């Protein structure tokens, strides 16, 4: 049986970070991805400038979309709006995660795509994991640590350890339509629509994205905690078509369903024994901040560092991981208590958003400045 120090299920944002930093630290690492890479991932692919600090590398321009976001415009349910400068990275996850997979391999991690996590069994000094490459028989490997980095719709390791976190059926999700055509939309603006009919999770959105053919498309999407994501998406799309005079057709659809109960008070969970959770599998997608990739990459980096630290100090990786991830887990748990599905009407939501707009803007500038000097363990995720 092949032996590893670290096994990672999932080749997305968090999995690639664990693999890269573990391999850089000299740990024998295997990370696997269920789909053939580069693979698509339903996501809006927006991140703050501090993302490069989290990743520890500069993002090459050819991994970004043609248009970068420079402004945001918030719309309330009654049609009133607010606009402000807002610089964020804009990329397609297919292109971006492919780059992260390559970086991890260049650091020495072994990678297999079209390879699926099947099962695990804990043994006294580690974990025996069963994986299966497409068209091949299941195979067992032995690892000192196993990491679940499979995102919100899979979580097979977490599912086995904590079945109570999973409902009978998916409790929410997200959708994107990519639209080709003319519209009265500014391609460098991120449009946010705060309306409980479109989304009870955060805002519904419009951005410009570059697809595989190198051309730009309108990306129109939404997410929800409860209800049918397709109904909400179609309601929003009809609204956008009229409001922005969209003359075009949908060329691609992305859909994402959540397997875990994201309203559970124990959603943020870092693992047990030698099995660690990272990214969305650790419950770190934050509906209040409206993003999750920063926490995913950061938690992946922390998990790798925790294993290295525990080897050095003779402590457990889980306790080191909990210490390193304290700032982000505390922030995510606190935000979970103020998600927007607490509002019964759009008027209440608007009042709340308007009252916090000014202070959020100030905090955003202040914390962005401080983040430049903070070590990654102390980074305050944005918006604060
Ligand atoms: C519609 C939508 C829009 C979003 N927009 C943004 C945004 O603009 N900015 C932002 O920061 N966040 C955004 N997010 C959140 C962000 O996508 C996630 O927080 C982030 O991708 C989490 O990374 P991860 O590595 O934990 O999981 P993922 O990126 O989901 O990666 C998990 C990987 O595991 C693989 N996998 C699954 N099961 C198995 C298995 N059994 N074996 C092997 N591999 C497996 C999957 O194929 C996948 O590649 C959005 C999410 C959605 C749904």
Question: What's the pLDDT score for residue 264?
Answer: 87
Residue 312 pLDDT class (50, 70, 90 cuts): very high
Which of helix, strand or coil describes residue 314?
A: coil
DSSP H helical ranges for the chain: 13-24, 51-55, 93-106, 156-161, 229-243, 293-313, 317-324, 326-336, 346-371
Pocket test for ligand 1, best of 114, 151, 191 (most atoms within 8 A of CB): 151
Q: What is the overall mean pLDDT for the chain?
A: 95
Instruction: Taking the CA atoms of 360, 366, 370 and 372 in sequence, report the sign of the dihedral they define.
Output: positive
Q: Which of 37, 95, 296 to mutate to test the pocket of ligand 1 (most atoms within 8 A of CB)?
A: 296
Alpha-carbon distance 192 to 380, whole Å? 23
pLDDT of residue 339: 87
Q: Is the dihedral of CA 211, 109, 88, 267 positive or negative?
A: positive
Q: Dump pLDDT digits (tens) for 123-153.
A: 999 999 999 999 999 999 999 999 999 999 8
pLDDT of 5 > 80? The answer is: yes
Distance 32 CA to ligand 1 centre (A): 14
Cα 244 to chain centroid distance, Å, stands at 29
Reported as a single tens digit per residue, the pLDDT across 182-207 is: 999 999 999 999 999 999 999 999 99
Q: From the CB of residue 116, how many other CB atoms can be counted at a distance below 10 Å?
A: 19
- Kindly list the protein residues whose Cβ atom lies closer than 6 A to any atom of ligand 1: 9-15, 32-35, 39, 41-47, 116-117, 149-151, 154, 156, 174, 176, 221, 223, 256, 279-281, 285, 291-294, 296
Q: What pLDDT does residue 169 have?
A: 62
Ligand 1 centre from 40 Cα, in Å?
10
Q: What are the structural domains of the chain?
A: 2-44+93-168+261-342 (3.50.50.60), 46-91+172-257+344-384 (3.50.50.60)
pTM equals 0.96
Say if residue 326's pLDDT is above 80: yes
| 123 contacts: CB under 8 Å, gap ≥ 6 | 142
SS3 assignment for 69-118: EEEEEEEECCCCEEEEEEEEEECCHHHHHHHHHHHHHHCCCEEECCEEEE
């Amino acid at each position: 049986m092949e032996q590893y120090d670290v096994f990672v299920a999932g080749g997305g944002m968090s999995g690639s970070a664990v693999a890269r930093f573990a391999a850089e630290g000299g740990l024998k690492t295997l990370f696997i991805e269920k789909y053939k890479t580069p693979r698509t991932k339903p996501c809006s692919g927006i991140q703050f400038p501090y993302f490069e600090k989290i990743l520890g590398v500069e993002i090459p321009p050819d991994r970004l979309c043609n248009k970068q976001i420079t402004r945001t415009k918030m719309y309330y349910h009654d049609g009133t709006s607010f606009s402000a400068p807002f610089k964020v990275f804009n990329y397609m996850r297919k292109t971006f995660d492919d780059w992260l997979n390559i970086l991890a391999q260049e650091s020495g991690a072994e990678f297999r795509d079209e390879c699926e996590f099947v099962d695990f069994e804990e043994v006294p000094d580690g974990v025996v994991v069963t994986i299966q490459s497409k068209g091949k028989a299941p195979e067992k490997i032995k690892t000192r640590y196993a990491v679940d980095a499979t995102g919100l719709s899979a979580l097979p390791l977490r599912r086995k350890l904590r079945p109570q976190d999973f409902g009978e059926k998916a409790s929410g999700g997200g959708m994107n339509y990519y639209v080709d055509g003319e519209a009265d939309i500014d391609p460098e603006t991120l449009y946010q629509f705060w309306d409980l009919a479109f989304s009870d999770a955060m805002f519904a959105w419009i951005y410009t994205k570059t697809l595989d053919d190198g051309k730009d498309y309108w990306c129109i999407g939404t997410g929800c905690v409860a209800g049918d994501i397709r109904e909400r998406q179609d309601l929003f799309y009809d609204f956008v078509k009229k409001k922005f005079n969209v003359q075009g057709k949908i060329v691609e659809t992305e859909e994402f369903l959540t397997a875990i109960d994201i309203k559970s008070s124990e959603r943020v969970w870092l693992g047990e024994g030698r099995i660690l959770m990272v990214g969305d599998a650790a419950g770190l997608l934050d509906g209040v901040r409206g993003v999750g990739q920063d926490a995913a990459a950061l938690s992946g980096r922390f998990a790798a560092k925790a294993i290295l630290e525990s080897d050095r100090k003779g402590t457990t990786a889980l306790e080191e991981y909990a210490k390193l991830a304290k700032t982000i887990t505390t922030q995510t748990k606190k935000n979970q208590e103020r998600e927007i599905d607490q509002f019964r009407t759009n008027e209440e939501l608007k009042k709340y958003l308007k009252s916090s707009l000014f202070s959020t803007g100030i905090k955003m500038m202040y914390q962005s400045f401080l983040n430049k000097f903070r070590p990654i363990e102390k980074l305050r995720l944005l918006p604060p």
